[in-house]
Amino acid sequence: MMRTLSNVLSLMRAPLAFLFLFDNEYMRALSILLAMCTDSIDGYLARRSKTTSKLGAILDPTMDKFFVYFVLTIFFLEKQISLAAALIVVSRDFCLFFFGLYLLYAKRWKSYVFHAIRWGKVATALQFCVLFGLAFHYAFPWYVYGFFLLFSLLAFIELFQTKSSFSSSTSLPT
C-alpha cells in the first residue's frame, strides 16, 4: 500500500464513522467536520506533492461512501431518517452504478478515464451538510432531499457529456 499523507487522510474517515456508535451529538458533529476536512484536503495534497496514485483514486471515494453509508445506517436505526430519504441521499451512487453498467454494456470500461465530476462533488458536500444537521436532530424539509435527486440527475448527465473522458488509455482519477 502506498503510504502517503493523502491516503492516510482518506483512511481516517473509517474510524471517524465509528465515532457515531457513541450517541453524542458534539462528537458526531466533530466527526463529520473532520471527515469533511480530510475529504477536502486529501486530493489537494496528493496533487500538490505529486503522490497521486490509482490506490488513492479508489480509496478516497470508497472512504467517502463508507463514511456516508455507515452514518446514514446509524441515523436510520435511530429513526432520524427514513429509508426513502436515506436512499435519496445516496441516489447519485445509483446513477454511477447505472453509468458503470452502460460502460460495460458499450464495452467502453477500459477506455473511460475515471475522474471526479462537478455535480458529484456538490452532492458529497450536501451529504455532509445533511449529516451534520442530522447529528443535531434537525429534520430537513422534503425539498432538501429533492436537491439530491437533481444533483444525481445532473451528475448522470455530466458523465455522458464529458467527451474527453474516453481515451485510448485506461486511467483512474487523481
Domain boundaries, the chain: 5-165
Burial of 106 (0-12, 13-18, 19+ CB in 10 A): exposed
Instruction: Say if residue 168's pLDDT is above 50.
Output: no
Give the other-Cβ count within 10 Å of 45's Cβ.
18
**pLDDT for 171:** 42
Q: What is the pLDDT of residue 82?
A: 97
**What 3-state DSSP class applies to 110?**
coil
Residue 173 one-letter amino acid: P
pLDDT of residue 1: 52
Mean pLDDT lowest for which of 52-56, 76-80, 132-136?
52-56
Q: Which of 132, 126, 140 is nearest to 26 (CA)?
A: 132
CB atoms closer than 10 angstroms to residue 121: 14
Q: What is the pTM of this model?
A: 0.85
Q: pLDDT tens-digit profile of 72-103?
A: 999 999 999 999 999 999 999 999 899 999 99
Q: Supply the pLDDT for residue 170.
A: 42
Positions of E strands within the chain: none
Per-residue pLDDT of 25-51, as tens digits, reads 999 999 999 999 998 898 888 888 888
Cell numbers standing for residue 17: 464513522
For the record, the C-alpha cell of 158 comes out as 455530466
Question: What per-residue confidence (pLDDT) applies to 166?
Answer: 56
CA nearest 43: which of 29, 54, 57, 55?
Answer: 57
* pLDDT score at 169: 44
Q: Across the chain, what does the average pLDDT equal?
A: 88
3-state secondary structure of 166: strand
Using the Cα atoms of residue 100, residue 103, residue 105 and residue 107 in order, give the sign of their dihedral: negative
DSSP state of 2: -
Per-residue pLDDT, 87: 97
Q: What percent of the chain has pLDDT over 70?
A: 92
Cα–Cα distance for residue pair 116/10, rounded to 1 Å: 15
The predicted structure's pLDDT at residue 46: 82
Which of the residue ranges 67-71, 78-82, 105-109 would you say has the lowest mean pLDDT? 105-109
- The grid cell for 8 is 492516510
User: Could you give the CA distance from residue 94 to residue 88 in angstroms, rounded to a whole number?
Assistant: 9
Largest CA distance in the chain: 50
CATH code matching the domain that covers 5-165, chosen among 1.10.3470, 1.10.1060, 1.20.120, 2.40.30: 1.20.120
Q: Who has greater pLDDT, 115 or 160?
A: 160
